[in-house]
Amino acid sequence: MKDDKQSTCEKLPVSVVQRKGIIRSAKPAHRTTSASEAVRCEGEVERDLTDALHQSVSSSQGTPLSNTVPYNCNNEYFKLLRFGVDSLYLSYQGELFPEVKERLTKLKQLAQHPEADQQAQAQYAIAGHIFEVKDKGSSIFPYVIEDGAFRISLSKTSKKTPMAYVKLSSRYLCSITPVEAEMHLRHILSELGALSSYAHVSRIDLCADFVSPENMESWGREAWITRGKKIDAPAINEKFTGWSIGLGGKISCPLYNKLIEIHTSGRTDLVPLWKEAGWQDGEPIWRVEFQLMRDVLAEHGLISLDSVLANLNGLWSYASTEWLRLTLPNPDDQTRSRWPIHPLWGYISSIDWETNLNTLSRSFQATRLPEDKRILALGISSMASYMAKYGITDFDEGLDHYLLALHQYLCACGEFDGLSGEDCLLEKVRLRGKEFNTILNINEAEQKNLEIQKAAKDYRKSSEGE
């Protein structure tokens, strides 16, 4: 039994049970409700948690339960910045409209065309999105369209294969709730085909970003108790970046330094969200993430998006208390299941998904843009190489010579293709515009024809009462 003097901020042990195929998590017996308790929580929760987690608490079946504390008891040891759905993969049954399939076939052929001006027209504009039509698909999903919000893979007519398999981007889900995102996606898909089912979840990634002074490299592999088969400790340039557990399985869990990751990925949109949640420059930010595949969701009777979103608490508890635990190894006890939970894991596993901690990004656009500094760095490197080649050390002289040589090169390239230098550059701009989802390259006549076709289809739907 727990000592009566323990902080009222502590939750009772979390247990996860399966009833009729649905995961449910036990509710806390009490939470912080007064200002005085909040003060105690700030100053005492770490000591109380550490004391509690060093106890070996067992259920009647001999399985240790995890003692946790509410997520809102942020303190110097653990500060939760945000948590939410990081990535979402959905599938839909249905059938593509014949005219859509015909158009996608032509656009895919344009994407495969050897001429750049033809490739640039491989775009599908719909519902405010300018999708790039990919030149390749797969045998199951031959048509792929993508922008910064969605990657939509579309199949040919088949009763066994979903009409659409869609990845909703992490960046998009930082700007909108999963329910709102799915509603917008359904609107897009309804313009492409006749849907015959609700959204099925093929994969969902749940993440939490936090700050802690804990040394994430201070424990060994034996501290992880997991049903996963692989435990790795990746590094970049011999610098430890985190842990990876169960990679390639039905569930996997990366725990990694998010600041190092965004340096590579360019996810600067997260920075203002962290700052709004209380992050200070210089503090390390870690992300723990559970990637849950269709199989494990189906095992718990969770197939539709609605059922999955209604059970996020249970999924998180199952993943962080039954599938994986971080412990404090006890060399005097050979029964690893009795090892106490690490204090850090107590905080992580206690996150309450029925609350809403997150703020949403206000600057999302459905584009795939590289950072300006990356683009400009290429220009600086090119200009520096040119100046060094010709021994130029004066900036103005170097810039003049470089721009002149660049113009001459463009003219030479255009002459080879029968274009002016300006048209040669604009051709490349249109290609990049297709890739970045920023420029619609379809000519006006074709665009007007598409608008007429859409108006006719909308009229038919309205007249038929759909």
Helix segments in 91-169, DSSP class H = 98-111, 116-119
Amino acid at 397: E
Mean pLDDT for 357-383 is 82
Q: How far apart are CA 337 and CA 221, in angstroms?
A: 15
Closest CA to 78 of 338, 297, 346, 298: 346
Name the more confident of 419 and 310: 310
pLDDT(387) > 50: yes
pLDDT of residue 357: 58
| Residues comprising the chain, all counted | 466
Question: What are 336's two structure tokens?
Answer: 């690893």
Contacts of 54 (CB under 8 A, 6+ apart): 328, 340
Q: How far apart are CA 380 and CA 377, in angstroms?
A: 5
One-letter amino acid identity for 42?
E
Tens of pLDDT, residue by residue over 141-196, are: 999 999 999 999 999 876 788 999 999 999 999 999 999 999 999 999 999 999 99
Q: What is the dihedral of CA 305, 253, 74, 32, to 10 degrees?
A: 50
**Tell me, what's the pLDDT at 224?**
96
Alpha helices, H only, 215-284: 258-265, 270-276
Closest CA to 361 of 165, 123, 177, 164: 177
DSSP state string for 156-192: -S-SSS-SEEEEE-HHHHTTS-HHHHHHHHHHHHHHH
pLDDT value of position 36: 35
**289/239: higher pLDDT:** 289
**248, two tokens:** 């390639």
Q: What is the dihedral of CA 419, 425, 429, 431, to 10 degrees?
A: 50
Give residue 178's pLDDT: 95
- pLDDT, residue 157, reads 72
Cα–Cα distance between 355 and 332 in angstroms, integer? 40
The pLDDT of residue 214 is above 70: yes
Return the pLDDT at 18: 33
Q: Mapped to the 3 state alphabet, what secondary structure does 217-228 carry?
A: CCCCHHHEEECC
What local confidence, expressed as pLDDT, does residue 456 receive? 56
- Residue ranges per structural domain of the chain: 16-87+203-349, 94-196, 372-461
pLDDT at 282 over 60: yes
Average per-residue pLDDT in the chain? 81
Least confident interval from 22-36, 95-109, 124-138, 407-421: 22-36
Please tell me whether residue 445 adopts helix, strand or coil conformation. helix
pLDDT at position 414: 80
The answer to whether the beta carbons of residues 290 and 203 sit under 8 Å apart is: no
Using one digit for the tens of pLDDT, what is the confidence trace for 10-68? 333 333 333 233 444 433 333 333 333 333 333 333 443 434 333 333 332 333 333 34
- As given in the structure block, the two tokens for residue 311 are 């059970």
Low-confidence winner among 11-20, 191-200, 308-317, 441-450 (lowest mean pLDDT): 11-20
Q: Measuring CA to CA, which residue among 215, 217, 224, 214 is closest to residue 339?
A: 224
pLDDT of residue 374: 84
> Using 50, 70 and 90 to split pLDDT, how confident is the model at 260?
confident
CA atoms within 13 A on the CB side of 47: 8
Distance CA 372, CA 375 (A): 5
Q: Is the pLDDT reported for residue 131 higher than 50?
A: yes
Q: Pick the residue with more confidence: 280 or 414?
A: 280
Least confident of 192-206, 208-222, 396-410, 415-429: 415-429
**H and E: helices and strands count for the chain:** 15, 19
Query: Tokens 């869990």 appear where?
Result: 253
pLDDT of residue 38: 35
Give the mean pLDDT of 252-275: 87
Q: In whole angstroms, what is the distance from residue 393 CA to residue 58 CA?
A: 74
- The predicted model gives 239-263 an average pLDDT of 92
Give percent of the chain above pLDDT 70.
77
